[in-house]
Structure 1
Amino acid sequence: MEMTAILLLVCFFTLLLINVPISISIALSTLLALVLHMDFTPAATTIAQQMIGGIDSFALLAIPFFILSGLIMGQGGIARRLIESAMAMVGFLPGGLALVNVMSCMMFGAISGSAVAATSAIGSFMVPEMKKHGYSENFAAAVTASAATTGMLIPPSNILIIYAIASGGVSIAALFVAGYLPGILLGLTLMLVCAIYSLKNNYPVAARLPLALVLEKVIAAIPSLLLIIIVIGGIIGGVFTATEAGAVAVLYALVLAVFVYKELSLDELPKLLLKACETTAIVMLIIAASSAMSWVLSYSHIPQMVSQFFLTLSDNPLLILLLINLILILVGAFIDMTPAVLIFTPIFLPVAAQFGMSPVQFGVMIVLNLSIGLVSPPVGSVLFVSCAVAKTSLHKIIRPMLPLYCVMFMVLMLVTYLPAISEFLPRLLGLID
């Protein structure tokens, strides 16, 4: 069994190092590991069956719907209205434009469900605006990248749906609601760091707007934010499932972008549909390959071995949970969030459960943890998108990223050791016992 794990890891990271796409790396390393237990033909057949079974889930239908709704919102003038509303509310505070950047990324990331989309849509406007007003482009890129990760926690979030499946059926509604407080807490702490950093570097402050203009900008953004209320309210109220909520989100986004804001023409829809199909195909292939790898790990009793190792290592839950977080942070620096959730949830969730952590709390913890990986070299996709938007290089934005990394880790520790942060709202609404 140890040989299976070693071969799996060596093959996987070797393929990654030679730039083989992650889904292919997962599938090939999984196949090679299974060949240790059986002949090639039955191994290949088993892998194919597990890949098909991994995506044969009604809940996964929500993902293409939320991807499409996010693309529609991104092209429909939503980002500009969110930025203007955030500017009206906090632009006059110390580091105003940095705070606007964080708030805008939080709102757009929540609506689109994609950290990369938030980085691209908000960053393409906010980074040049911050540079124009005297902010460092490296600081602007760091703020955009770190703030965009909040959308992974604030629903609707595709990665929480994937975790719900990987965990064996945790309530999607409970996970969605559980992500609110950690996501908002992360955003507020990032804003605090931005304010302190801006004061230290004497970055300019915008003028305070008249109250009437503030209200006008906020009201203009309300239709966009209503998407979150409709989706989450409908799921919690039992009006529709998470999958049906995705379809409702597409319809609402389409009406808003085409007929209300009138910034998206029907002629542009085929291009958006094609983009949504491409993104969905990539995500589903990763899910399928990761599901096969999870099955091979289970078949080889790797989760039980890991669980036993941790339980014999120490009986101190503080130490074990810290160790799990450190391992996941290292994993997140090399592996994309979706396969990491699918592969490591079956391994670490039983260990966390042994120390009293609920599946809902663990779900929020692992998503927040792996969100740090999105902005960590060498693989962090959000970090590279932010560098491209700001026209800067990776090594230049690491220094302004350091205080942001620190507060992200601090919030991660709070979520890990204080269950109420993620469980208060679900318990209040009766979604968990």
Structure 2
Amino acid sequence: MSTTLVLFGSFIIFLLLSVPIGVSLGLSAVTTILILQPISMEVFTQSMIQGLNSFPLMAVPLFTFAGDIMGKGGISKRLLKVVSLLFGKGTGGLGIVSIVTCLFFAAISGTGSATVAAIGSIMIPAMVAKDYDKNFAGALVSSAGTVGVMIPPSLCMVVYAVAANTSVTGMFTAGIIPGILVGVVLSIYCYYYSRKHGYKGESITYTSKEKLAIVRDAIPALLIPVIILGGIYGGIFTPTEAAAVACIYGIFVSVFVYKEVKISQLPSIGYNAVLMCAAVLVIIGISSGFGRLLTFTQVPVHIANFILSITQNKILVLLCINALLLLVGTFLETNSAIILLVPILLPVVTALGVNPTHFGVMMVLNLSIGFVTPPLGANLFMACQISDIKFDDICKAIWPWILVMIVALLLTTYIEPLSLWLPQLLNITV
């Protein structure tokens, strides 16, 4: 108990002093180590290094670079045009177009931050130009970017599959319908908010010939998820290797097909991509050390025991676990939280008859909300970087979106076929 109080108490104090989240995590862990010495400083340092020394984690800068070059090379712009043909004219059209494009782009980038960077850099200024509230636009794209860990390929699902010893393909397939569900509920809220505030859709009318030209021009962009997912499901390459393939294809299309990026610009784009994901990677590394400290002090074990001591009712246990994961998602990076909590929580839910793949989808969806939940909120940081929005302002605008995603989370939690129907239909092991 003393370790928990010192660890989280100091963390809250550092946050109140406006210390950056990554630094606050590190300082609170160091403070706890110096006062109570639950682990050595060497172990904490090694844990941070090991947290970054990960093959799957290599996909983060690669997908960030791919998303950046696709945005600058005209790929995301052409995807947006195609989606605009279908959804752009109605109330809140630009917002719904942003959400649907994020769903599609998630199958390209595989990460929330890259999706926010690629789509947000185009759509946030476009929405602001149409008199959308800037903070609303930033919160919208940040929320839509969370589907990057639900729609395959998803690094978080790979991490869960390894930790839970379940099928990666099964996890990928199980995440598709819940990912679409998140997009649907976000679109419903966007329509409601836009109707209330008078946000209109696009007023441009296209002829049949112009529509055909837009679709034809977008074919190279539309092939990207086919190549990436086809390669993964066909066993040609791993998700991390798919990130490299996305970079190569993005360079080819942007430089030689659409010709909107020059070869001389590639080093600059790569440098910017590294800068954009650097802060996120620092948080990941420090949260790995923070997670190791939690493990050594058995804080998650005490929490799990506390849950089961309250009730063994399946509905209530899942509700308590969701509450726990929502809390954990505000402090820990998603992959670290998965590695930390799966060994503790999976035996609890399987004893209650919950399918491991279904629980994995529930867990990933839950923790993905942490991408937009202060104080961690990696997607919020990314949206602020690309649109010059103050972090405090976007934090105020994000809460309605968080509540909407919690509705999708509860539906996924208690309606098991949402995650298991598609894998069972395709005879994929779950």
C-alpha displacement of 1:413: 0.5
C-alpha displacement of 1:86: 1.2
Residue in structure 2 matching 1:382, options 379, 383, 389? 379
Separation in 2 of the partners of 1:53 and 1:144? 31
Q: Give 2:175's aligned residue.
A: 179
* Distance in 2 of aligned mates of 1:395 and 1:414: 30
> Structure 1 residues 265-274 or 381-390, which shifts more?
381-390
CA distance in 2, matches of 1:322, 1:357: 13
Compare 182-191 and 22-31 and name the one that shifted more: 22-31
Q: CA deviation at 1:80?
A: 1.2
In the alignment, which residue of structure 2 is the partner of 1:188? 184
Residue 99 (structure 1) aligns with: 96
Q: CA RMSD in A?
A: 3.5
Moved more, 268-277 or 232-241: 268-277
Among candidates 170, 181, 194, match of residue 198 of structure 1: 194
Whether contact under 8 Å (1:26, 1:293) holds in the other structure is yes
Alignment map for 1:77-88 (pairs within 5 Å): 77-88=74-85
Could you tell me which residue of structure 2 aligns to residue 269 of structure 1?
266
Partner of 1:421: 418
Compared CA separation, residues 83 and 31, structure 1 to 2 (3 A): same
2:149 to 138, 149, 152: 152
State whether structure 2 residue 25 is matched by structure 1 residue 5: no
Task: State the distance in 1 between where 2:395 and 2:16 align.
Answer: 22
Shift in CA distance, 123/14, structure 1 to aligned 2, threshold 3 Å: same
Instruction: Give structure 2 stretches of 5+ with no counterpart.
Output: none
Gaps of 5+ in 1: none
| Whole-angstrom distance in 1 between the partners of 2:85 and 2:287 | 44
Deviation at 1:84, TM superposition (A): 1.0
Deviates more, 1:286-295 or 1:74-83: 286-295
Is the 1:328–1:369 contact (alpha carbons within 8 Å) kept by the matching residues of 2? yes
What is the match of residue 221 of structure 1? Answer: 218
Q: 2:72 aligns with which of 70, 75, 80?
A: 75
Match of 1:237 among 230, 234, 246: 234
Question: Cα distance, 1:313 vs. partner?
Answer: 0.9
Per mean C-alpha deviation after superposition, the further-off stretch among 46-55 and 227-236 is 46-55
Q: Which amino acid aligns with 1:198?
A: S
Q: CA deviation at 1:394?
A: 6.8
Aligned with 2:86 (options 77, 84, 89): 89
User: TM-score by structure 2 length?
Assistant: 0.84
Deviation at 1:152, TM superposition (A): 2.9
On the 8 A contact 1:156/1:232 being kept in 2, the answer is yes
Is 178-187 or 115-124 further displaced after alignment? Answer: 115-124
Q: Please give the alpha-carbon distance, in whole angstroms, between the structure 1 residues aligned to 2:14 and 2:38.
A: 22
Deviates more, 1:58-67 or 1:148-157: 58-67
Tell me: CA distance 1:171–1:5, structure 2 relative to 1, closer, same or farther (3 Å).
Answer: farther
- Cα–Cα, structure 1 residues 382 and 238, in superposed 2: closer, same or farther, change >3 Å? closer
Q: Number of residue pairs matched?
A: 429
TM-score, with length taken from structure 1: 0.83
Identity of aligned residues (%): 40
Q: CA deviation at 1:70?
A: 2.3
Q: Is 1:372 aligned with 2:369?
A: yes
Within 2, Cα distance between the matches of 1:175 and 1:182?
A: 11
Whole-angstrom distance in 2 between the partners of 1:170 and 1:279? 32
Deviates more, 1:265-274 or 1:387-396: 387-396
Give the aligned residue type for 1:70: G
CA contact (8 A) 1:67 1:113 kept: no
Give the Cα–Cα distance (whole angstroms) in 1 for the partners of residues 222 and 142 of structure 2.
21
1:304 is displaced (CA, Å) by 3.1
Contact 1:134 1:204 in 2 (8 A): no
Distance 1:119 1:191 in 2: 16
For residue 237 of structure 2, what is the amino acid of its counterpart? F
